[in-house]
């Protein structure tokens, strides 16, 4: 089965998505997600100009060889643009293999390890009471795990919450220049411990609670936060600190039993190898779109399993429903699956373009028996929502110093 054409689409149904479609001489096609938030067109060009021409005529079944060809063959290796492109090709080839076999991708990976996939939802509010009210609504809808984020009093805009009370992802289709946000570690500490104290008082101990620090703390500050949050029993504390220096997580680990999660920006197994091997984290959060697709996530997941690290794939709305479907197949199979982040199946325009067979009920998600990934892409519908340049925010300390967003 030969690859005959590779097409790249970028659409903006409320936010930008980059989609790859691979056609074969068997009449079967596959789709993959190559969305790199804020740098979308770099991946489009990379795919069209540097990847697609090398793959025409190759065997669509040779997923592993094509992965190695694109990774080793590029000489420069690694990198967000490179791995997003490889990821989309890889997903599309798994989609094709599943369709050719008449099997859903999870069956090709080894079959079901569980009946459904546990999700955690987001409650992001203007203040503690607002966040907890939103969490209460999610609990009513059947979610058993909730990520809590609250705006910080005294700071104009905070990660997860916009000042104008709009959902924080809504504006990402329309940010022609990066907006700026502010950060104060002191003000954050005053709020976040109280947030989790009140959450436990209100919801009791049966609900799972999570929190994303979004890399704003130094390792010793993360260690202190982990300690202060221990009484409130988090499922995990996400992105407490940047781990470019993976050794730095030893500082956090030595001081706290709060479980740690990281990995949504990672591109390769090398970005998390030491964290996993030294058991410095509990959950690895790599995304299929940003870390090289299903082939790479399967490998990272198996490696993590040896060290009792569970998988918890990134589930932000800047990953298209194709990536979510890929995660669902991995999550259904992986023996060491932990939990899946979930922010809904997308707005009406997204659902019109990406028709997914994944179903959600009572805080759980389920793959279908559809062959391949079980998600389709409507090119004509996508054309109605052309690309809009858009950026993630940047973050500054109160004195103007550029900080981690
Ligand atoms: O800010 O995907 O856990 N989720 C997150 C996300 C990220 C966005 C960045 O593009 O941290 O919301
Ligand atoms: Co995150």
Q: Judging by DSSP bridges, how do beta strands 260-262 and 29-33 pair with one another? A: unpaired
Query: Are residues 153 and 297 located together in one domain of the fold?
Result: yes
What is d(CA 188, CA 73) in angstroms, rounded to the nearest whole number? 45
Set 71, 106, 120, 159: catalytic member: 159
Q: Which ligand 1 atom minimizes the distance to the CA of 405?
A: 1
Query: Are residues 270 and 239 located together in one domain of the fold?
Result: yes
Query: Are residues 176 and 100 located together in one domain of the fold?
Result: no
40 Cβ closer than 6 Å to some ligand 1 atom: no
Final residue of a domain: which of 104, 126, 154? 104
CA 147 to centroid of ligand 2, rounded, Å: 10
Query: Are residues 201 and 312 located together in one domain of the fold?
Result: yes
The predicted model scores a pTM of 0.97
Set 214, 290, 314, 327: catalytic member: 214
CATH number at residue 293: 3.20.20.120
CA 259 to centroid of ligand 2, rounded, Å: 15
Domain assignment present for 282 = yes
Q: Please choose from 178, 264, 288 the residue to mutate so as to test ligand 1's pocket, defined by most ligand atoms within 8 A of CB.
A: 264
Largest Cα separation within the chain, whole Å, is 62
CATH number at residue 40: 3.30.390.10
Do 145 and 128 form a contact (C-beta atoms < 8 A)?
Answer: no
Query: Are residues 362 and 245 located together in one domain of the fold?
Result: yes
Closest CA to 216 of 159, 163, 154: 159
Query: Are residues 90 and 139 located together in one domain of the fold?
Result: no
Domain assignment present for 52 = yes
Q: Which ligand 1 atom minimizes the distance to the CA of 239?
A: 11
The residue whose two tokens read 């009093």 is 153
207 Cβ closer than 6 Å to some ligand 1 atom: no
User: Active site includes 283?
Assistant: no
pLDDT tens per residue across span 86-119: 999 999 999 999 999 999 999 999 999 999 999 9
For the cut 60, the answer to whether the pLDDT of residue 165 exceeds it is: no
Helices marked H in 37-79: 40-45, 52-55, 63-72
Q: Judging by DSSP bridges, how do beta strands 17-24 and 3-11 pair with one another? A: antiparallel
DSSP 151: P
Query: Are residues 85 and 67 located together in one domain of the fold?
Result: yes
Q: Which domain holds residue 47?
A: 3-104
Do 370 and 92 form a contact (C-beta atoms < 8 A)?
Answer: no
Give the number of domains in the chain.
Answer: 2
pLDDT tens per residue across span 323-338: 999 999 999 999 999 9
80 Cβ closer than 6 Å to some ligand 1 atom: no
User: Active site includes 188?
Assistant: no
pLDDT tens per residue across span 365-390: 999 999 999 999 999 999 999 999 99
């Amino acid at each position: 089965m030969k690859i005959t054409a590779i097409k790249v689409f970028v659409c903006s149904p409320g936010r930008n998505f980059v989609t790859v479609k691979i056609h074969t001489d068997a009449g079967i096609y596959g789709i993959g997600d190559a969305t790199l938030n804020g740098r979308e067109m770099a991946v489009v060009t990379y795919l069209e100009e540097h990847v697609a021409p090398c793959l025409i005529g190759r065997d669509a079944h040779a997923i592993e060889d094509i992965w190695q060809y694109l990774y080793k063959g590029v000489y420069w290796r690694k990198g967000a643009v490179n791995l997003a492109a490889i990821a989309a090709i890889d997903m599309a080839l798994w989609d094709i293999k599943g369709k050719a076999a008449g099997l859903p991708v999870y069956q090709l990976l080894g079959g079901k390890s569980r009946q459904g996939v546990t999700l955690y939802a987001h409650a992001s509010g203007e203040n503690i009471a607002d966040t907890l009210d939103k969490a209460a609504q999610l609990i009513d809808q059947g979610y058993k795990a909730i990520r809590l984020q609250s705006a910080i009093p005294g700071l104009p805009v905070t990660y997860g919450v916009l000042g104008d009370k709009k959902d924080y992802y809504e504006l990402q289709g329309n940010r022609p220049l990066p907006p700026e946000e502010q950060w104060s570690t002191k003000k954050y500490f005053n709020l976040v411990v109280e947030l989790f104290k009140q959450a436990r008082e209100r919801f009791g101990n049966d609900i799972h609670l999570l929190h994303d620090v979004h890399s704003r703390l130094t390792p010793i500050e993360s260690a202190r936060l982990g300690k202060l949050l221990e009484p409130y029993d988090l499922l995990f504390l996400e992105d407490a600190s940047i781990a470019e220096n993976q050794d730095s997580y030893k500082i956090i680990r030595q001081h706290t039993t709060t479980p740690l999660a990281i990995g949504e920006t990672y591109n390769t197994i090398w970005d998390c190898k030491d964290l996993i091997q030294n058991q410095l984290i509990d959950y690895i959060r790599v995304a299929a779109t940003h870390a090289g697709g299903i082939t790479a996530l399967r490998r990272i997941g198996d490696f993590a399993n040896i060290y009792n690290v569970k998988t918890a794939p990134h589930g932000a709305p800047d990953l298209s429903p194709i990536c979510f479907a890929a995660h669902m197949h991995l999550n259904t199979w992986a023996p060491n699956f932990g939990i899946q982040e979930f922010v809904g199946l997308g707005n009406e325009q997204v659902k019109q373009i990406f028709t997914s067979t994944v179903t959600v009920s009572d805080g759980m998600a389920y793959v279908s028996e559809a062959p391949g990934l079980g998600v389709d892409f409507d090119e004509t519908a996508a054309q109605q929502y052309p690309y809009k340049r858009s950026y993630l925010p940047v973050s500054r300390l109160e004195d103007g110093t550029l900080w981690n967003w």
